[in-house]
Chains A and B, each alone.
Chain A
Amino acid sequence: MAYFILKRLIQSVFVMLAVAFLAFSLFRFVGDPITQMTGVETSVADQERLREELGLNDPFVTQFVRFTGDMLQGDFGFSYRTRQPVAEMIADRIPATLELGIVALLISLIVGIPAGVYTALRPRGVVSQTILMTTLIGVSVPTFVIGIMLIFLFGVQLGWLPTFGRGGTVQIGGWESSFFTVDGWRALILPAITLGVYQLTLTMRLVRAEMMEVMRSDYIRFATARGVPMRRLYFKHALANTMVPVITIIGLQFGGVIAFSIVTESVFQWPGMGLLFLESIRFVDIPVMGVYLVVIAFFFVLVNLIVDMLYVAIDPRLRVKDAA
């Protein structure tokens, strides 16, 4: 097992290098950082001097090697926009994004799995049809529209929930958390729903499809014939067997939730990594963009690893194989 994890971590280094390389080769087309860093009155000569100082005139390969070399030594560089250390900027923003992603994931699981089971067991019921219809709307409407609609309904018209930001946060050992204040939770609700809607629908439909499949299988029929209580049958025997594909998809999606929370973060001015990335694009802040993309690549690798490990925990057959 340890060997397996180690192997995956080593692979992740190559994934991140590849991402860094791709990102870096695209940065040249993002724009000119110098004109974003200087005022209109700054002379062309001063701009050139700055460009030289920052090494932007160096060939692409030199810049890339310097970037990755510094990063391997733990030096993430400084933001062109704010001059702050990039590592600190990103570290400051990780809690916001992770907490938002986790709550969005929880919402999608807590609502999505029972809804999936229900709609599988009563496929023709009115309630099932209504759930299926509404969630279909949920996935068809773009995230930012859902976000804006929620903001205007619950923030502006009803005035129940805040429209932007994280509300009250508490510092716990460098981790800025929304989980410990009422304000923090109130601020979390709308963005988490916005971010989670797509996941929720996906989870529900996946559970439903798998569940319907499983319910038709022989062992369920035998179990029914044997008189296993329905409740036990649905949740122990049937649901557990639907979980492997569900976890795969949801796990992989979670990486996406973290990576693509950009839209939600922008709509709710949620101070996470995605918002930082957007600001960085606007200012052509290459060091921040580069590190962000590498960090996101790492998240993906990590999530995949966890998914693989969960398989083993859920599916006894894999454990047997591993032992053999």
Chain B
Amino acid sequence: MNYSLKSSALVCMTVLLSSTALSAETFRWASTTDPQTMDPHAVNSAPVLSFMNNIYEGLVRRGKDMSIEPSLATSWEPLEGENGWRFTLREGVTFQDGSAFTSEDVMFSYQRASNEAADVRSWFAPVSDVRVVDDFTIDFVTTAPNPLFPDSIANFMILEKDWAEGNDAALPARDAENFATMNVNGTGPFTLASRDPGVRTVLTPHEGWWGEAEHNVTEAIFTPIGNSATGLAALLSGEIDFIQPIPLQDVAQVEERDGFKVLEGEETRVIMFGFGHEHETLLYSDDVTDSNPFTDPRVRLAAAHALDIDSINRVLFRGKIQPASQLVPAGISGYSEANSDRPEYNPDRARELLAEAGYPDGFSFGLKCTNDRYINDEALCRAAASMFAAVGLNAELSTGPVRDYWPQLREDDFDMYLLGWSPGTFDMEHPIRFLMHSQNDEKKLGSWNFGNYSNARVDELLPMIQQEIDPAARQALIDEVVAITQEEVAYIPLYTQPLIWAAKDNVELTQRADNFFLLRWVTVN
């Protein structure tokens, strides 16, 4: 499929800015989760990073279509004679307190964000040194060639050095709050007018912002609304202008009312099933207790052939999901066009494969799923369990809230499990690093590869992918990884999740594929 066509359709749903004169407006919006903190380095979670992108800025940023564009850096190029990148900074930028932005602030923010107290420090794992060249030039030296480094720091936000140090916020708050938990001083288009955590957060435009304002918001009021029915009622009663996300089943409710619209896009999150590759026996089986059939790739392939994604899509998702062949959706950099086929629904083939593997009558096993993490996750697992059962794979389903799900997976308490993965860097390297490389705590690799899928060639290819500058050669390496992991059915990629937001008709905004909502693209007509 045509890349640009597909990506523009998939990655972004931009509604054209209307040409009417921009007038002053208060904009009210809601989301399910309150950002835990106003400190952009303290928590590496989507609610925080998405929110803080309105207030703080990075050296680079992502545009409406997720592409990397200049922000506080106007340009960047590889260092000569060593590995790393030189960033040329924007001049004339001021922080919200009026002080000027220089490379010292970048240096300070780097030290702050890479400190042990910061949750975002993993972004700087490849960095060996940072050097201030002059007021508007800074070098990031990396241990190896790192073509994707600029992309990987799009959410690395810059704080003002004197402000942070002067207010005892030189480090992110780990245990107790500090000044930066509730106060801000960024260079971004909006600043914090008031904050009542969990209740109401008000943003107002930063008058001295360097950029050209595309929005017409004079005041933006955010309210977290955890209960989806309440959120919907708040929208339909007109008390809020926009809500993200709404449940699939409420789409019709919104669409049939005048004055409201549903914004649908596709998130980059791929939902998949994973296996206990390393487990010697099944934990939850009634019939196979002395071995783990899932170590046989034929059994894993059989499981993949048993799943009818089209039916799942039709029945559970109202046709809003995209079947996935690999761990990133099409349109994301590194997506392997050469391996875009997924195992088709073929229960007969599944039974044959099971028979070949020595399980003609199938076997029972445990399937672990979340029930509050992904859209319709529990329903999906029920459907999958019945599809598995049709070929003889009797899944004993257990579902639970995500808050105790990860610890169970970390303790290897599963035979098969559900996982959703959104590539933080918007590149295929990300899932390879976290999900496909074998577990290696020391190198911090494979940290979400719960079943410890391990293939020496994949482990070998990862650093090569990370360091390859030539796009074609890099893609060839990625294609090889995808081919291997498909061949061995390391995971069963299922589909990419839809993004469903709802707004009043008079609100124009941009739905970005990373589920970030940015005020600078909002117009209220």
Contacts and interface: CB of A to CB of B under 8 A. Distances in A.
B369 to A, nearest CB: 16
B223 A82 contact: no
Interface residues of A, number: 51
A165 interface: yes
Contacts of A151: 229-230, 233
B199 A271 contact: yes
A155 B177 contact: no
B233 A152 contact: yes
Give the size category of B's interface with A: 35 or more
Interface string B165-198: 0000000011111100110000000000000111
B116 A269 contact: no
B45 interface: yes
Contacts of B524: none
Interface string B24-41: 000000000010110000
Given A269-B230, A275-B198, A37 B404 contact: no
B447 interface: yes
A125 interface: no
Given A30-B403, A40-B448, A84 B233 contact: no
A233 to B, nearest CB: 48
Interface SS majority for chain B: loop
Given A83-B42, A163-B233, A45 B441 contact: yes
Nearest to A32: B407
B196 to A, nearest CB: 8
Residue among B44, B116, B177, B227 with the highest chain A CB neighbour number at 10 A:
B227
Contacts of B119: 37-39, 42, 46
A38 B175 contact: no
B516 interface: no
A261 B123 CA distance: 42
Contact of A37 (B43, B197, B444): B43
B259 interface: no
B238 interface: yes
A83 B181 contact: yes
A54 B174 CA distance: 9
Contact of B175 (A35, A53, A165): A53
Contacts of A155: 233, 237
A267 interface: yes
Contact of A165 (B43, B173, B223): B223
Given A30-B404, A32-B404, A39 B34 contact: no
A44 B230 contact: no
A29 B403 CA distance: 10
Contacts of A44: 410, 441, 444, 447
A43 B122 contact: yes
A42 B173 CA distance: 16
B220 interface: no
Nearest to B444: A43
A50 B177 CA distance: 15
Interface in B433-477: 434, 441, 444, 447-448
Contact of A164 (B123, B239, B403, B410): B239
Residue among B45, B177, B199 with the highest chain A CB neighbour number at 10 A:
B199
Given A82-B177, A156-B237, A159-B237, 10 more contacts: A32-B403, A46-B121, A53-B174, A82-B197, A83-B174, A85-B176, A151-B230, A156-B236, A271-B198, A275-B198
Interface of B: 34, 36-37, 42-45, 116, 119-123, 173-178, 181-182, 196-200, 223-227, 229-230, 233-234, 236-239, 401, 403-404, 406-407, 410, 424, 434, 441, 444, 447-448
27 contacts: A30-B403, A31-B407, A36-B403, A41-B44, A41-B123, A41-B424, A43-B122, A44-B447, A49-B116, A82-B197, A83-B175, A83-B176, A83-B178, A84-B182, A84-B197, A156-B237, A159-B238, A162-B237, A163-B233, A164-B223, A165-B199, A269-B223, A269-B230, A271-B199, A279-B34, A283-B403, A284-B403
